[in-house]
Structure 1
Amino acid sequence: MTAEILERAGTPTHPITVEKAPGPVTLSRGGAVLARTDSALILREAAYPPVYYLPKSAVDPAVLSPAEKVTHCPYKGDAAHWKIALPGGGVADPGAWSYEEPIEGMTSIRGHLGFYLNALDAAFDPPAA
């Protein structure tokens, strides 16, 4: 199955693609589902591991709050970071990031969240290829 590429950006030595995830994606912590969507995206950037971006609407807004951290990517723009209130207590700070106004060529990730997998015991379950 060939992935549907939504956008291409970057440079020949730092390529970036955004594609639709091939099926449902679930994000969980300690067995509790934080988000589930059929509308996830996969961002592939240079030699980095692929990153799933889930629509913000797939995450309960009650578990998200702005973090103080802001970063900049020359290929995607300024990233706002988010705290995630975790099931059973605790907070992942930051636990996610988003590009509220991504650079032209990366606009498909607007309205989506990427997640720090080292901050969560996240489990993504796309279908087997």
Structure 2
Amino acid sequence: MGLSWQQGPLGTGAVGRFLVPEVLPDRLLFAEPLRRRMRVQFGGRWIADSEDVVLLHEPARYPVAYFPLDSIEPGVLTAADRTTQHRDLGTTTWYTVTVDHNSKPRAAWQHTELPDYANELSGRVAFAWRAMDAFYEEDERIVGHAADAYHRIDIRQTSRHLVVCDGDRVVADSKRPLVLYESGFAPRWYVPRDDIDESTLTPVDGQTFCPYKGLCSYYDIGTAHQAAWGYEDAWTDVRRISGLVSFEPDKVHVELDGTQLGLEPGQAVISHGVDRDLTVEELSG
């Protein structure tokens, strides 16, 4: 997902490679200015507000936003009796975040003995995403993690023939699926409801979310658990997939133009779950 997650170029499962004469280190960290105003809310108050946020991309991790100390409300951070060692960035000091009667231990951290090559993070603090009430870019809430500027989604209409079967039963048959290309993932095929035998889909309790697409609902197909999913009300940038359904090719039989699809690199997704036990109503609000 984006620069350093999944099959991104700095990810641990990158599908491409850098064309350079020397072997690169196993781990490359990348820090850059976010160039967006970001705010953090906790205990009903804004506790950080900055246009000078630095985003850290670390292999196999979501991007992390680091705020300058002078952008954080005084008295919010209390140093905890805890330090750890980051394998690349040295000693990490942890903080308790407190606002009035609301307190979260180890909810923020700072790399306090940075090597010279990582001075972009000097004097900066990151907040644990799940411990905070919310993060915002300007006046719009960001869920899951800081948005990755290298993450891209393209949706294309196609006339290719997609067939989904559960044993001998045809679940879907469409010559008008949408294909969704997402950074770091293999293509995903979404089918209109009119081309699906909806009696084969059994809704599953619980939803997860994608920071780029919205709330995701799941379906069992026969004995195949969570073999299909869809976004009933996909977010604005990907509105075209709203109400459509996609299928897991390792759980049910999926054919594209007569060729059976399998689980490709980048197709296994680690879902976010619901951020800090966020309710559907809160997330939608």
Which TM class, normalised by the smaller chain length? Answer: 0.7 to 0.9
Question: Quick one: distance in 2 between partners of 1:58 and 1:65?
Answer: 16
Question: Quick one: distance in 1 between partners of 2:253 and 2:209?
Answer: 25
Give the alignment of 1:1-129 within 5 angstroms. Answer: 12-30=149-167, 32-85=169-222, 91-125=223-257
3-state DSSP of counterpart to 1:14: coil
Question: Quick one: distance in 1 between partners of 2:186 and 2:231?
Answer: 18
Deviation at 1:69, TM superposition (A): 3.6
Question: Quick one: distance in 2 between partners of 1:72 and 1:37?
Answer: 26
Gaps of at least 5 residues in structure 2 are 1-146, 260-285
Instruction: Give, as a single letter, the amino acid of the residue that structure 1 aligns with 2:160.
Output: G
TM-score (norm 1): 0.77
Higher relative contact order (CA 8 A, sep 6+): 1
Q: Which has the higher strand share?
A: 1
Question: Quick one: distance in 2 between partners of 1:47 and 1:112?
Answer: 22
RMSD: 2.0
Q: Which has the higher helix share?
A: 2
Residues 126 and 14 (structure 1), Cα distance of their counterparts in 2 relative to 1, 3 Å cut: farther
Question: Quick one: distance in 1 between partners of 2:217 and 2:227?
Answer: 11
Corresponding pairs, count: 113
Identity %: 27
Question: Quick one: distance in 2 between partners of 1:117 and 1:53?
Answer: 12
Higher Cα Rg: structure 1 or 2?
Answer: 2
Question: Quick one: distance in 2 between partners of 1:92 and 1:36?
Answer: 19
CA-to-partner distance for each residue in 1:75-95, whole Å, 9 max, x for gaps? 00000111112xxxxx21111
Gaps of at least 5 residues in structure 1 are 1-9, 86-90
Q: Which moved more, 1:95-104 or 1:29-38?
A: 29-38
Residue 141 of structure 2 is matched in structure 1 by none
Instruction: Give, as a single letter, the amino acid of the residue that structure 2 aligns with 1:35.
Output: A
Asked if the contact 1:69–1:94 (Cα under 8 Å) also holds between the matched residues in 2, the reply is no
Question: Quick one: distance in 1 between partners of 2:199 and 2:168?
Answer: 18
Residue 3 of structure 1 is matched in structure 2 by none
Question: Quick one: distance in 1 between partners of 2:215 and 2:158?
Answer: 24
CA-to-partner distance for each residue in 1:11-59, whole Å, 9 max, x for gaps? 6411100001242221223454321112200000002000000112211
